[in-house]
Structure 1
Amino acid sequence: MGLISHNEAMALIEGRHGNVFSALGYSAEAERVVALVPDAERVWLLGNNEAIEMQSVVPGLFAVRWQGGLYRLRAQNAQVTWDFEDPYRFAPVLGQIDEYLIGEGKHKALWKVLGAHVITHDGHRGVHFATWAPEAKRVSVVGGFNNWDGRRHQMRRRGATGVWEIFLPGLQPGEAYKYEILGADGRMMPTKADPVGFGAQHPPETSSVVRELGLHPWSDGAWMTRREAAQDIHAPISIYEVHLGSWKRDWADGGRPLSYYELASDLLNYVVDMGFTHIELLPITEHPFDGSWGYQPIGLYSPTIRHGRPEEFAAFVDEAHKRGLGVILDWVPGHFPTDEHGLRQYDGTPLYEHGDPREGFHQDWNTLIYNFGRREVKNYLLANALFWLQEYHLDGLRVDAVASMLYRDYSRKDGEWVANKFGGRENLEAIEFLQEVNSEAYGGAQGIMTVAEESTAYPGVSHPVHAGGLGFGYKWNMGWMNDSLRYFSRDPIHRKHHHNELSFASSYIYSENFVLPISHDEVVHGKGSMIGKMPGTDVEKFANLRAFYAFQWAHPGKKLLFMGQEFAQWTEWAQAEALHWHLLQHKPHQGVQQLIRDLNRLYKTLPALHWGDCEPQGFGWIDADNADQSVYVFERRAPNVDPVVICANLTSQDRTMRIGLPQGGSWVEILNTDSGHYGGTNWGNLGFIEAQGERAMGRDHSAEIYLPPLAVVYFTPG
């Protein structure tokens, strides 16, 4: 009898063996070595100081008698001879505990065992690959290192967990690779990028790339120590939302986007100068289509190569921290694209997604929905959240499209959705997933914050999990955003009929911990820019916009502004371009930019403007009902400090009027959006007002003030 049967040899060479580690490599029982080298004509075993030529069993498969001991292989064809280590002589890498935790869906550090890791194993440096494909008949890692031949490096199946692994000695970082998967029905799947890959090729190429984690030496200890206080509900949080690819471009180099290193200089310098406390990045998780802005990611564990390698992204975050800036990532666990090289039908079955399109397909975005009820899928996403917080020291996650996760009938007609087990519309599995993510994130990374983009009235989004809430730190206030934008887009002459659009938010402003967002969503898809939404002449548009921003910064809630709106870009955002920085040659645009600087400065330095963003004691109306004059007067306050009184005149007519004040004495006009510094007409109160003991608006003290048209004025005791 030969060293290996013809049937087994053919199964190996045709890639349908099913258990290659039982046949390839060294077998002590059979006293043989079998090597699969499809592109070789001759192969030798190198061991015991000799070279033994192996027998060609069938073309590409070689065998030889061997009684044990270390060996290498030498292969030859008409073009080249090469020596290599036999990957099938190495023991498994994954341990039983890892295997158990993966099977149970409880491996919180999943990225440390799945994916492609550069390691030293049995004395040899190489790359360990592991992926989850439970229904696959075969999984192979393929790349240029094996001529993309799925027969060469067929992986070892690890029991019932559905994990496949292989160690490839000698492989180096920077290698492109994919997984070739033979599905349960015998159908060969399109080659797949690694779901836990740490790097990727430049689009439109679709392979994963071997990258090492932990190459960047962190030096942000001071920030990490104090960030819990910096992200507390009582702290000033002012967020600059950024799409890295279009903030600026290098026109001297073909209009390319800036690198992470360049952004660590140019962008961070700008954000510090503008006075923001945080940067929020539109998704930098790897994505195939630029036009998705990152919201259709495939490489959830990979910072996009568009700006550099993983260690360069880490350097960007580190530099932000050294400058006192928090970094928030837009995180997308709600859906994923249908690209063939992604998660769709990963092992030939609906593995990550639901099989039923009524549960597993987003009609709005033509994307697939994760199966939150499957423990391994929940584990994959939960570990991904912890990955960004722990490996890259990110300070928060803003979770995209939470409303679409919470409701099974989201954007669906009757008959197009499946009720939960109680017959309701709530997605109970997604709710449990979000609660678990928040619990683990806050427990696994000290001082972070999570933010929900949630547009419905779902109760308790930012309430603790133990109290029945979802456990987010903050929630975007979409109601405030919609009402205030609707109000400010109206002709001032009609605003008196819609006075409650600005005052209504006070009825619920403390039901959640809110962020007031003017995000990218408000300046795309034909919605125009912020300055474009404002009514009137150009002069009136700028006055309205300045008043809007001053109102936003005075209103309870943390602040968020999308890039370009801080200097009143005229056109809506376009991801393929850069911001229109040339507009800053003009004084009106300079004025809006300076206003944002000053608003951030006041917001950070005056506790009355930020302490009570999420505390009812921090806000009080002085006059909420002056609809005829479209005037609003309210105060912001904090314990043991001076209050700030805000007066807004949102008509085109100037006004002199008496307002109530919390106390007597001199009050300083600390901000006036009509100031000449901001491009206004410079009408105001000559810097201060004097409060007398004359009762007005329910207060024992009052003062006569002048309110310019379309302006907001801040006062604080002098």
Structure 2
Amino acid sequence: MPETGPVGEAWRATEAAVDAILGARHDDPFAVLGPHAVAAPAAAASHVLRAFVPGAASLALLRPGGEVALACRHPDGFFEALLPGPPPAPGYRLRAGGGAAFADPFGFGPCLGPLDDHLLREGTHTRLQERLGAHAVTHAGVAGTRFAVWAPRAGRVSVVGGFNGWDGRRHPMRRRPDSGIWEIFLPGLGAGAAYQYEIMAGEGPEAGRVLPLKADPLGFAAELRPGTASVVADPAPFAWGDAEWMAARAGRDALRAPLAIYEAHAPSWRRHPDGRFWHWDELAAALIPHVAGLGFTHIGLLPVMEHACDASWGYRPTGIFAPTARLGGPEGLARFVDAAHAAGIGVILDWVPAQVPPDAHGLARFDGAPLYERPDPRHGAEAGQGAATYDYGRPEVAAFLVSSALYWLHHFHADGLRVDAVSCMIHLDHGRPPGGWVANDDGGTADHDARGFLRRLNALVAQEAPGALMIAEEATDFPGVTAADGLGFTFKWNLGWAHDTLRYMAHDPLQRRWFHGLMNFGLLYAFDEAFILPLSHDAVAPGQGSLLGRMPRGDAGGPGQDEDWQRFANLRCYYGFMWAHPGKKLLFMGGEFGQWREWSEARELDWALLRDPRHQGVQALVRDLNRLHRAVPALHAGDRRAEGFQWIDPDDEMRSVLTWIRQDGDSLVAVLCNLTPVPRPDTRIGLPRTGRWREVLNTDSKVYGGSNLGNLGIVEAVPVPAFGLPASASVLLPPLATVYLMPDDAGGPEDVEQP
């Protein structure tokens, strides 16, 4: 629309322009408001100054020589005046009535440039967080906050907050037509201000409608729920003290290194008595020593990105650049990671690029139509979730997701990302009903855009964050998830292993002979990928029961034992089986002491159980398993190599016994699992060498709450071949127990030897 009036009053804004500003409908407010050079009637240099201050009865420009009043063009607060001389420099100040002076945002030029437009359009910008979002900066010599948001189909975008009475008329933003970015600099506004974007749809059936207020897609901090606003983050850089850790991480061979992850949902690990969440510093003081004391190598945190609903556990994030306000500000997370690194513990964050949640203040239909998500609703996330999938083929969306991943790795020094719902990303039909998905151009089920995105992401992480782990939650038999010429992840969760083995352990021991294959089937594919064995939050989620609660209950045992002794013995035996099985380890919180109740995000863990010696025994076993896992190369270095594993006897289903060898160079461990409550004396097992073998772990030891049956610490292997091995020994297999044997001359941690 023309912005100026007829000849003679050419400097005046048109009625249509004034009306559009007053109604917050103008798509280019900077063409109307602020200073603009004009040719004055007398041909002298002059400019027009316009401003809209709703509710103001008068407005003046502050100059060194005094105030210059602007004429009131409209009683709603639109002012303009023709003034001599060139336009004032950015930062000029206005005063409305007798109020405080303020700098005019419409007096500042753009903060972004053509390169930002170009890189966003082509999808190669991997640091979008440096350009978009809210940044407390100095612009044109004035301190304030720069806002920028991508909304290409919007008819108008305003930033709103308490600083302008949440009035979308006050600060409409400048459109950058080449990219669809909107930007504005608000002088005087600093860190801590809450804000949102008010967007008017510009296209389609919703054109002209003002949408629900939106959080910033690249907001770096957020209000505590039920608030939905973003918060301007403190721009001060964090003083990291982990340079040595980061340098060592970059040179670590993740496949051959020990990896035992303690998975935690930080908001429910501990709570204050009144139900308040612990903040990051409180967690750092308790959670990190707990994890380090148990010998885990990493903490794996369920999503710490901002989310509206506690019951989503963070898996429906509305801000994938903002740490949740439940646990404190972003700097608190940085302090937590720094403290973990100082304690020798890595931090892995769950990251959710599989779905665009439908929350009205989030990314869904961000500018009035599908933008971040695919436009066809049949491209939704898994059935029943009510969410859409990201449009991985759109360059701007791919750049947004890549920038998010790298942000957590760079800005917070995260040691890896566990990528949620990869199955849903790479398969168009995964978790979706017939007719609820769209085939690709070849008529197949492969999501080529998502697969291409993941390959590029993993390659960029390997290049830009050396040593960071990329972990896929992938539940199908898709080949090459961890292959360099496949998707390129570092590790894949072995969800099939967890499903099969937990199903086996839930059976009555007397019936297990019929399900023996569930325990050894995983070895048929154990080396096809680089696996993590996950006893995760999904295994103890509502409706699943706890790990201890899923173990079968037997008859009362000997003196001092009740009918729950088998549950504890089963759990200890299962942990021994897991820690000796090829694959890295992951255990969800509460599993380390045998929580009875299934986990709930609404309460803290049942820490009082640790007053019970049986639960103390489970915790002691986990500690010793982790010490062995870290100290003995055979138990971790060959997790990816088939030659590091050898069955002794995988087929003893009648007695429900499994025996095997783990080996890496000179490091040897023989693993013996008796999965029934019947002791097995005089059981002959094959061994790869003669001599004394130490019983370095026995899950039936009294220190773990067991019956203390065993081999008195030593087994003697004689040159009698058995099971294809050159030596053998006669051993006692304790009831519902796993035993580790190591050659007496092989060394090993003395503090885990059993009585």
TM-score range, shorter chain: over 0.9
Partner in structure 2 of residue 56 of structure 1? 72
CA contact (8 A) 1:674 1:711 kept: yes
Map 1:160-309 → 2, pairs under 5 A: 160-184=178-202, 185-230=207-252, 232-251=254-273, 254-309=274-329
Q: CA deviation at 1:497?
A: 1.5
Give 2:438's match in structure 1, choosing from 408, 414, 418.
Answer: 418
Give 1:484's match in structure 2, choosing from 473, 493, 501.
Answer: 501
State which drifts further: 706-715 or 207-216. Answer: 207-216
Pair 1:148 & 2:170 matched: no
Q: CA deviation at 1:19?
A: 1.2
Partner Cα separation in structure 2 for residue 142 and residue 454 of structure 1: 41
Partner Cα separation in structure 2 for residue 347 and residue 65 of structure 1: 37
The CA RMSD measured in Å over matched residues stands at 1.2
Partner in structure 2 of residue 665 of structure 1? 691
The amino acid that maps onto 1:698 is G
Partner Cα separation in structure 2 for residue 89 and residue 425 of structure 1: 53
CA contact (8 A) 1:654 1:708 kept: yes
Map 1:101-180 → 2, pairs under 5 A: 101-180=119-198
CA contact (8 A) 2:62 2:95 kept: no
CA contact (8 A) 1:15 1:150 kept: yes
Q: CA deviation at 1:213?
A: 4.3
CA contact (8 A) 1:293 1:575 kept: yes
Partner in structure 2 of residue 98 of structure 1? 116
Partner Cα separation in structure 2 for residue 264 and residue 20 of structure 1: 48
CA contact (8 A) 1:230 1:236 kept: no
Map 1:304-315 → 2, pairs under 5 A: 304-315=324-335
Q: CA deviation at 1:353?
A: 1.1
Residues 544-580 of structure 1: per-residue CA shift (max 9 Å, x gap): 0000000000000000000001100001001010000
Partner in structure 1 of residue 606 of structure 2? 580
Give 2:21's match in structure 1, choosing from 9, 12, 23.
Answer: 12
Pair 1:86 & 2:104 matched: yes
The amino acid that maps onto 1:643 is L
Partner in structure 2 of residue 473 of structure 1? 490
Q: CA deviation at 1:214?
A: 4.9
Map 1:494-573 → 2, pairs under 5 A: 494-536=511-553, 537-573=563-599
The amino acid that maps onto 1:261 is D
Partner in structure 1 of residue 466 of structure 2? 446
CA contact (8 A) 1:137 1:186 kept: yes
Change (3 A) 1:11 1:308: same
Partner in structure 1 of residue 57 of structure 2? 41
Partner Cα separation in structure 1 for residue 35 and residue 644 of structure 2: 73
Residues 321-367 of structure 1: per-residue CA shift (max 9 Å, x gap): 11111100000000122111111111111111122111135423122
Partner Cα separation in structure 2 for residue 171 and residue 213 of structure 1: 13
Partner Cα separation in structure 2 for residue 349 and residue 520 of structure 1: 35
Residues 631-685 of structure 1: per-residue CA shift (max 9 Å, x gap): 111011112x230000011111111211111111110000000000000011110
Secondary structure of 2:101 counterpart: strand
Secondary structure of 1:256 counterpart: coil
Pair 1:32 & 2:48 matched: yes
Partner Cα separation in structure 2 for residue 472 and residue 156 of structure 1: 40
CA contact (8 A) 1:280 1:330 kept: yes
The amino acid that maps onto 2:26 is H
Secondary structure of 1:333 counterpart: coil
Q: CA deviation at 1:36?
A: 1.1
Give 2:416's match in structure 1, choosing from 396, 402, 405.
Answer: 396
Change (3 A) 1:419 1:174: same
Pair 1:333 & 2:350 matched: no
Partner Cα separation in structure 1 for residue 521 and residue 712 of structure 2: 32
Partner in structure 2 of residue 592 of structure 1? 618
State which drifts further: 420-429 or 10-19. Answer: 10-19
Partner Cα separation in structure 1 for residue 262 and residue 65 of structure 2: 65
CA contact (8 A) 2:94 2:104 kept: no
Give 2:649's match in structure 1, choosing from 623, 631, 635.
Answer: 623
Partner Cα separation in structure 2 for residue 441 and residue 82 of structure 1: 49
CA contact (8 A) 1:214 1:391 kept: no
Partner Cα separation in structure 1 for residue 145 and residue 358 of structure 2: 29
| Structure 2 unaligned residues grouped into runs of 5+ | 1-8, 40-46, 554-562, 745-755
Secondary structure of 1:298 counterpart: strand
Partner in structure 1 of residue 708 of structure 2? 682
CA contact (8 A) 2:323 2:330 kept: yes
Partner Cα separation in structure 2 for residue 568 and residue 52 of structure 1: 75
**TM-score of the aligned structures, taking structure 2 as reference length:** 0.93
CA contact (8 A) 1:336 1:368 kept: yes
The amino acid that maps onto 1:187 is R
Secondary structure of 1:394 counterpart: coil
CA contact (8 A) 1:362 1:369 kept: no
Q: CA deviation at 1:389?
A: 0.5
Q: CA deviation at 1:186?
A: 1.1
Counting matched residue pairs gives 710
Change (3 A) 1:677 1:361: closer
Q: CA deviation at 1:6?
A: 2.4
State which drifts further: 391-400 or 68-77. Answer: 68-77
Partner in structure 2 of residue 650 of structure 1? 675
Secondary structure of 1:703 counterpart: strand
Partner Cα separation in structure 2 for residue 230 and residue 549 of structure 1: 26
Q: CA deviation at 1:219?
A: 0.5
Residues 601-630 of structure 1: per-residue CA shift (max 9 Å, x gap): 000001111001111121111111111111
| Structure 1 unaligned residues grouped into runs of 5+ | none
State which drifts further: 32-41 or 276-285. Answer: 32-41
CA contact (8 A) 2:383 2:433 kept: no
Change (3 A) 1:587 1:390: same
CA contact (8 A) 2:191 2:235 kept: no
Change (3 A) 1:229 1:608: farther
Partner Cα separation in structure 2 for residue 349 and residue 76 of structure 1: 38
Partner Cα separation in structure 2 for residue 446 and residue 272 of structure 1: 23
State which drifts further: 593-602 or 647-656. Answer: 647-656
CA contact (8 A) 2:354 2:381 kept: no
Secondary structure of 1:197 counterpart: coil
The amino acid that maps onto 2:69 is E
Partner Cα separation in structure 2 for residue 404 and residue 312 of structure 1: 32
CA contact (8 A) 1:328 1:394 kept: yes
Partner in structure 1 of residue 375 of structure 2? 355
Q: CA deviation at 1:224?
A: 0.2
Q: CA deviation at 1:499?
A: 1.3
Identical pairs, percent: 48
Change (3 A) 1:228 1:636: farther
Secondary structure of 1:363 counterpart: coil
Partner Cα separation in structure 1 for residue 340 and residue 488 of structure 2: 27
Change (3 A) 1:361 1:664: closer
The amino acid that maps onto 1:645 is A
State which drifts further: 412-421 or 472-481. Answer: 412-421
Q: CA deviation at 1:456?
A: 0.6
Q: CA deviation at 1:39?
A: 2.8
State which drifts further: 121-130 or 367-376. Answer: 367-376
Partner in structure 1 of residue 737 of structure 2? 711
Q: CA deviation at 1:479?
A: 1.1
CA contact (8 A) 1:141 1:153 kept: yes
